[in-house]
A and B are shown apart, each in its own frame.
Chain A
Amino acid sequence: SQQGEEDPQALSIQEGENATMNCSYKTSINNLQWYRQNSGRGLVHLILIRSNEREKHSGRLRVTLDTSKKSSSLLITASRAADTASYFCATDHSGAYSGAGSYQLTFGKGTKLSVIP
């Protein structure tokens, strides 16, 4: 089952506008990660925020995490046509299984972002 839920499912904006996507999850996490996927191909890691962090920046990306509400948001500022893709949040449940390096990511269904030139 998928724990994370992104909102909205689809988002269409004009180039230059900001895009905000939200993610909610159900159980406690070690960290939350955002990935981008172009046209059903491989996932590209964008940013990771740990459970003890509240905000993180990377270039035009800003991620917030509210562990009390079990939610996160991804803000893309000054969007470009090249940002058109699906965006997924993924939660890390390290320690769910025994063994070193053992963890899995639980993904939401994603937000499909379209940036219109």
Chain B
Amino acid sequence: ETGVTQSPTHLIKTRGQQVTLRCSSQSGHNTVSWYQQALGQGPQFIFQYYREEENGRGNFPPRFSGLQFPNYSSELNVNALELDDSALYLCASNPGGVTDTQYFGPGTRLTVL
């Protein structure tokens, strides 16, 4: 158990819709990162938040956005869903600073039809 939870577990949306995925980090973990994992691939970094501000972004378009809240929860929002957005979305947290290990949640499986 990593102490990181995600909701919902599964989600089905249609192309063009918007979706919000949620993550609850361990208390004291100031950094949260989001990853997208397509079937048969490794996770790809979407972006990272540190103390409620975006602190780095991977090669993802602006329709992927996020929020981090003071209570160690965070959201990943995806607008104008495309079929290729179908994937497992993972959030990972750590205490921030120089700590290296990231603690991953169980993921949300998003299917776009």
Contacts and interface: CB of A to CB of B under 8 A. Distances in A.
A100 B55 CA distance: 8
Interface string A91-111: 010001111111111111110
A88 interface: yes
Contacts, number: 91
A1 interface: yes
Contacts of B86: none
Interface stretch (A12-20, A41-49, A64-72, A74-82): A41-49
B96 A100 contact: yes
B102 interface: yes
Interface string B47-84: 01010010111110000000000000000000000000
29 contacts: A1-B59, A2-B44, A4-B42, A31-B100, A42-B2, A42-B104, A42-B107, A44-B2, A44-B104, A45-B103, A88-B42, A96-B56, A97-B55, A99-B50, A99-B53, A99-B56, A100-B50, A100-B97, A101-B50, A101-B55, A101-B94, A101-B97, A103-B48, A104-B33, A104-B56, A105-B33, A107-B35, A107-B43, A109-B42
Interface of B: 2, 4, 30-31, 33, 35, 37, 39-45, 48, 50, 53, 55-59, 88, 90, 92, 94, 96-107, 109
